[in-house]
Every structure is written in C-alpha cells, then in structure tokens.
C-alpha cells in the first residue's frame, strides 16, 4: 500500500490540469487515498460526505478515471467511501461548498432544491463579480505568440463597449483564455470600481437561467443581466443544444450590445465550429473582434516557465527549465502541473536539491506523449467496436443487429459502456450509432455494465482490460 500511495499526489496534480481550480478545490481537495486492492484492479478512496461522493461520481467520473489510469494503469474499478475527517479539516469543505464566488455554487444549488428560495440565492449580489484574484495582468506573461491578443485586450479595456464588441477569444484548453478574460475584468474594475462586472462560465449562466425558469423569474433574470456593464462569459461551447437558454442569451446579448455594454466571450473552438449553437448567435459572436489565443512555441514556453519558477520560488537549473519547456509542449496548464509536482517533491525532501533524475520521472508521461496521443486518437467508435467484435468473435453486423443471445447482448452493452465512458458520447447518439436504438436501451445497457463492474464480474473486468490493452497497442 505504501508504495501505491506515492502516486496519488501525481493523480491529483494531473486532475488539476483537467478541471478548473475552483472545481478541484470544492470536490477533490479532501479526497483521501485509502488503498489499491484486487491485484491493482481496484482503488479505494475516501471523501468526507455522501454529497461529495455523489458529486464526483456524477460529474467527474471520466476525469477521475483518466487521472487514476495514468498512474495506476491496472485500475478498472474505483470505490469511494465516506470517511470521517479530523475536526480541523472539516470546515474548509463547508467553506468551499458555500463559496458564493465559486462557480459550483449554482450547480450545488441545483442539487439541493431547498436552496432555491430567493432570486439572490442564484444571482449573486451586484458587487460580487466572481473574478478570481489569481488571474491578473500582473502575472500574465506577454510573449511573442500572445502579444496580438493581449494588445487587443488592452484596446477593448481602453474603449470599453465601443472598440470591439463583442470580443471573442478562442483556443484549445490551457492556453490562457480564462486568465486573460479575468485579468480584463480586474483591470476594468480597477479603473472604475462602480461598474457592474460579471464573470461566469457559460454553465453557471445556464444554471442560473434554469433556476430562473423554474421559479418563473425570467423577467428578473433578464433585468439582472441588462444591468451589467461588462459581461465575461467563459467557455461558451457548453451552451450547445440548450435551445431555450440560447434564445434568452440572444436577447440579453442584443440588449447589452445596443447599450454599448462590453461582452467578452471565450470558446474552445471558433464560433463557426460551435455545432448546436443557433446561427444568429454565431454570427453575433463574430460581429466584433475574433482572435485566437495561440499555442506558445518553445521560446515562449521558456519565458513563461522562468516567470512561474521565480514566482513559485523553485530552485531549478537552466537545463532543467529547458527540459520542461522542450517536453511539455501541450499547454501552459500542464507546465504549471509539472511545476506543482516539483514543488510537492521538494516539500517531501526539504533541504535537498531537486535532481535531474526526479525531473525525468516527473516528465515521463510527456516522453511518450506522441505515442500516447496517437493511442488516444486510435480510440474511436470504430476501433472500439472492432476490438469488442474481435474479443467476442462476432461480426459487426451482429452487434448492430437485433440478435439477443447472451454473448451478443453483453458485447453490445460493453460497446455502449465504452462509448459512454471513454468517448463521452450521449445516450441518444450512441443509440443512433449502434443500430438505431432507443436512448433508454443504451442507458440501461451501460448501467448494467457499471453494475457488473461493481460486482467485480470477472468476465466483464477481463474484457474491459483486454479492450483497453488492444487499443493501447495501436
């Protein structure tokens, strides 16, 4: 067990690179490693409350499993137990769950209907802007690659609402969109503290809308946003498919825009690629300025790393910093993840230099990154279906067809399960892909596999393991 425990902090660090800081704080900061059992196939974790357990299982199963498998590759089943924490550690959880500024506030309210009492319970007071003090211009490193977008951002702040409205910033994750967005909010507030600024991830915006709808307070909701001077919407991609919300957002957008109130939006893809977002919204997103947050090249990564190493007071050699910049070429969040791991290691060994050998161990996941990436790409609906057919000696047409033999049903349910859990596809779309089945059939099938995994059904565990292994070999 002791050996196994060593990897747990790395799992947490990896998770931090996958989910937002506030989400991590609220849900994962109190997760305790308990044990790895069943020849490495099952990991047992502890959390302080049932609520915490259900939240993680309901919302972050995929992220957690991915992070666990990175360091415990044999684990198939994760068990989360409720454990009592020492008194001294209990309060912060309450605090982080109740944080008004926290983006989870709204989602946790959704789970606890008794919280829905008054409009102010889901719409923060005027002076609460939700900005994270961590993200300012002061610690935003300007490099050659992000110079353009930084200049645009400065211009927008100078001539709020009139220069480029909206400003639409897009890029893949971890490249600094949220940081820049919030830095802009802080700067505007600094210049004029009387302004009404609201930062919110689009999911929070949607959750508020949903509560307003439920309470029949749509007019109040619109009035509330009509009053905003600077609206910062992060990760707009999550509004896809939420049609009623898109209609209301469209009106809010128009009202603000007409009054020359500034709107800034970030997205993980260009507006045109936002499938499931109404055309009229997409075209509005492109009305002002569209700019991407480019990926830093090696030299820029070095500049950013040096700044962060200094701020974190880490003592590293130039070669070590150079090696990190060379290996971690995915995004800035991952570079920060590596620095955090280094910091954790240094804390474990106070008074000792951080060695090259330790660095190489930490950078191991990045050594084979290319290989790893191609593996990940190889995990497609087709490759999963092929693999399962191969393992069960079935033809694809059987799997897609309507036969109900036990073997065939199991193979089909496993396919549902993989599509849901490893590809994150929705039940209806899985149903469409596998012989035009109803989404409830898919859901029941996939849940059945969950149950078999819980019951440690040898056959199912074996098939999952083999499927994963085969897909890794591609």
| 22 near Mg ion (CB under 5 A) | no
Beta bridge partners of 113: none
| 173 near ligand ADP (CB under 6 A) | yes
Distance CA 340, CA 329 (A): 16
CA distances from 334 to 62, 181, 311, 330 (A): 18, 19, 17, 7
| Least distance from ligand ADP to the Cβ atom of residue 295, Å | 10
Shorter beta-carbon distance to ligand ADP: residue 23 or 467: 23
| Least distance from ligand ADP to the Cβ atom of residue 425, Å | 23
| 176 near ligand ADP (CB under 6 A) | yes
Strand order in the sheet with 262-267: 197-201, 230-234, 262-267, 167-170, 289-292
Partner whose binding site includes residue 252, from ligand ADP, Mg ion, none (CB under 5 to 8 Å by kind): none
Stretch 292-311 residues interacting with ligand ADP (CB under 6 A): 304
Partner whose binding site includes residue 72, from Mg ion, ligand ADP, none (CB under 5 to 8 Å by kind): none
- Contacting residue, 85, 110, 141, 195, with ligand ADP by CB under 6 A: 141
Partner whose binding site includes residue 140, from Mg ion, ligand ADP, none (CB under 5 to 8 Å by kind): ligand ADP
Residue 276 falls in which region: left (phi positive, over 0), alpha (psi -120 to 50) or beta: left
Distance CA 67, CA 15 (A): 6
Q: How many CB atoms lie within 10 A of CB 168?
A: 24
Contacts of 416 (CB under 8 A, 6+ apart): 430, 434, 442, 445, 446, 449
| 174 near ligand ADP (CB under 6 A) | yes
Distance CA 185, CA 135 (A): 10
Shorter beta-carbon distance to Mg ion: residue 301 or 333: 333
Q: How many residues bind Mg ion (CB under 5 A)?
A: 2
| Least distance from ligand ADP to the Cβ atom of residue 343, Å | 14
| Least distance from ligand ADP to the Cβ atom of residue 240, Å | 18
| Least distance from Mg ion to the Cβ atom of residue 388, Å | 35
Pure H helices in 364-426? 364-367, 369-378, 381-392, 396-400, 406-421
Interface mask (CB under 6 A) for ligand ADP, residues 336-375, using x and -?
Answer: x---------------------------------------
Partner whose binding site includes residue 333, from Mg ion, ligand ADP, none (CB under 5 to 8 Å by kind): ligand ADP
Distance CA 86, CA 419 (A): 40
- Contacting residue, 23, 25, 178, 267, with ligand ADP by CB under 6 A: 178
| 178 near Mg ion (CB under 5 A) | yes
Q: Are strands 197-201 and 262-267 parallel, antiparallel or unpaired?
A: unpaired
| 267 near Mg ion (CB under 5 A) | no
Shorter beta-carbon distance to ligand ADP: residue 293 or 385: 293
Contacts of 236 (CB under 8 A, 6+ apart): 202, 265, 266, 267, 274, 277, 285
**Which range in 151-159, 244-252, 330-338, 351-359 contacts ligand ADP by CB under 6 A?**
330-338
Joined tokens for residue 403: 């036969």
**Which range in 33-41, 154-162, 171-179, 318-326 contacts ligand ADP by CB under 6 A?**
171-179
- Contacting residue, 77, 105, 333, 379, with ligand ADP by CB under 6 A: 333
Asked whether 263 and 253 are in contact (CB, 8 A), the reply is yes
| Least distance from ligand ADP to the Cβ atom of residue 341, Å | 15
Shorter beta-carbon distance to Mg ion: residue 177 or 198: 177
Give the residue among 201, 176, 12, 188 at the shortest CA–CA distance from 101: 201
Q: What is the DSSP string of 247-313?
A: HHHHHHHHHHHHTT-EEEEEESS-GGG-TTS-HHHHHHHTSSEEEE-PPP-HHHHHHHHHHHHHHTT
Shorter beta-carbon distance to ligand ADP: residue 235 or 422: 235
| 177 near ligand ADP (CB under 6 A) | yes
Where along the sequence are the contacts to Mg ion (CB under 5 A)? Answer: 177-178
Where along the sequence are the contacts to ligand ADP (CB under 6 A)? Answer: 139-141, 146, 171, 173-179, 304, 332-333, 336
């Amino acid at each position: 067990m002791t050996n196994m425990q060593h990897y747990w902090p790395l799992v947490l660090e990896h998770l931090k690179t996958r989910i937002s800081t506030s989400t991590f704080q609220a849900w994962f900061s109190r997760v305790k490693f308990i044990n790895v059992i069943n020849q490495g196939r099952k990991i047992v974790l502890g959390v302080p409350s049932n609520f915490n357990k259900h939240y993680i299982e309901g919302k972050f199963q995929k992220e957690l499993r991915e992070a666990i498998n990175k360091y415990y590759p044999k684990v198939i089943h994760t068990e989360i137990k409720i454990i009592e924490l020492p008194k001294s550690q209990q309060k912060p959880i309450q605090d982080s769950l109740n944080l008004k500024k926290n983006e989870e506030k709204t989602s946790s309210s959704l789970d606890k209907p008794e919280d829905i009492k008054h409009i102010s319970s889901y719409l923060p007071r005027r002076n609460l802007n939700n900005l994270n003090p961590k993200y300012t211009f002061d610690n935003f490193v300007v490099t050659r690659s992000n110079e353009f977008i930084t200049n645009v951002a400065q211009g927008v702040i100078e001539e709020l609402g009139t220069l480029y409205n909206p400003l639409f910033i897009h890029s893949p994750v971890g490249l600094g969109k949220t940081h820049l967005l919030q830095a802009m909010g802080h700067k505007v507030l600094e210049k004029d503290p009387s302004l009404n600024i609201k930062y919110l991830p689009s999911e929070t915006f949607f959750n508020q809308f949903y509560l307003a709808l439920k309470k029949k307070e749509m007019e109040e909701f619109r009035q509330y946003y009509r009053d905003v001077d600077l609206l910062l919407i992060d990760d707009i991609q999550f509004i896809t498919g939420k049609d009623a919300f898109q209609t209301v957002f469209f009106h809010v957008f128009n009202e603000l825009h007409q009054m020359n109130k500034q709107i800034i939006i970030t997205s993980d893809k260009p507006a045109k690629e936002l499938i499931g977002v109404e055309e009229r919204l997409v075209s509005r997103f492109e009305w002002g300025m569209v700019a991407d947050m480019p990926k830093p090249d090696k030299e820029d990564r070095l500049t950013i790393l040096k700044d962060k190493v200094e701020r974190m007071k880490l003592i590293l050699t130039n070669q070590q910093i150079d090696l990190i910049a060379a290996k971690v070429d995915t995004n800035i969040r991952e570079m920060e993840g590596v620095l955090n791991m280094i910091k954790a290691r240094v804390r474990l060994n106070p008074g000792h230099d951080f060695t090259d050998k330790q660095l190489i161990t930490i950078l191991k996941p990045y050594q084979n990154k290319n290989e790893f990436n191609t593996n990940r790409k190889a995990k497609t609906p087709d490759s999963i279906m092929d693999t399962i057919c191969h393992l069960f000696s079935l033809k694809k047409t059987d799997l897609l067809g309507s036969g109900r033999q036990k073997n065939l049903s199991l193979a089909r349910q496993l396919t549902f399960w993989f599509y849901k859990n490893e590809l994150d596809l929705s039940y209806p779309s899985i149903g469409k892909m596998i012989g035009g089945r109803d989404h409830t059939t898919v859901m029941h099938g996939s849940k059945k596999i969950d149950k078999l995994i819980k019951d440690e059904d040898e056959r199912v565990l074996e098939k999952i393991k083999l499927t994963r292994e085969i897909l890794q070999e591609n």
